[in-house]
Structure 1
């Protein structure tokens, strides 16, 4: 699994966020809030759905399954004009990311994460940067239980 190394422009996202841990996983709840309201968003840049993780600077050095982080379910928009009521704003800075194409179910993902953070990153010549991590679920995303489902995993690097 070899990533593409890309530098992105800043992105404007709107959606919902929640503080959670891996033990107290609330991913389903924020996506359940977002998905029924997608038609209210009048200025999306695409139909892609973003799943964003915002970690504290010491998250990976002091990690336990109970360590808290903020997770977002969001959509990229052209601007922050006319945001539907109740949506939150998140801006991603443009910088360098390693982009991995993942195919499989959410149950299979921990093995991929172990490879990215435990094998690829230490041997890549890059360091993990303290910026949001995210996944993009585009046209080939078929749901978290479908083994043919594809998504992009974006890891911030420097």
Structure 2
């Protein structure tokens, strides 16, 4: 599995967020709520959706599926001139990312992420950086479909 190393620009995002854990996963509920209101977001910079995770600084050091993190369902916008009342804004800082392509369902992603965090990062010339992780859900994304495709963006920094 190859990664593209990308120096990403700053991104302006609008969406909804919710605290959760892998044990108490509320992703479906979050996305259902966001999709119901996403047409209210103006000035979108693309048709892509972004699923973003903000992890506490020690999240990966002592991993537990019960540890809480903040998940976002959002879209990228050109500016924050028009933010729907029920939504929040988030500025994703510019930075270095390892970008992986994933094909399959969310239920089958565990081995994919275990490879990234357990093998690829330790063997690479990078460490995880303390910035949000995110997935770009573009035109080839199909929820719960084995042919679904998305990009997985992992924040990295040089060792």
Global fold match (TM > 0.5):
yes
Q: For residue 25 of structure 1, give the secondary structure of its aligned residue in structure 2.
A: coil
How does the TM-score come out when normalised to structure 2?
0.97
TM-score (norm 1): 0.98
Aligned positions of 1:136-147 closer than 5 A: 136-143=136-143, 145-147=144-146
Correspondence for 1:83: 83
**Post-superposition offset of 1:87:** 0.5
Q: How big is the alpha-carbon RMSD for the aligned residues of Structure 1 and Structure 2?
A: 0.6
Corresponding position of 2:70: 70
CA distance in 2 between counterparts of 1:110 and 1:93 reads 27
The aligned runs of 1:19-38 (5 Å cut-off) are 19-38=19-38
**Structure 2: runs of 5 or more not aligned:** none
Matched, 1:6 2:2: no
In the TM superposition, 1:107-146 aligns within 5 A as: 107-143=107-143, 145-146=144-145
Shift of 1:62: 2.1
Unaligned stretches of 5+ residues in structure 1: none
What is the match of residue 152 of structure 2? 153
- The 5 A counterparts of 1:87-102 are 87-102=87-102
Describe the SS at the equivalent of 2:120: helix
Structure 2 residue matching 1:157: 3-state secondary structure? strand
Secondary structure in 2 matching 1:72:
strand
The structure richer in strand per residue is 2
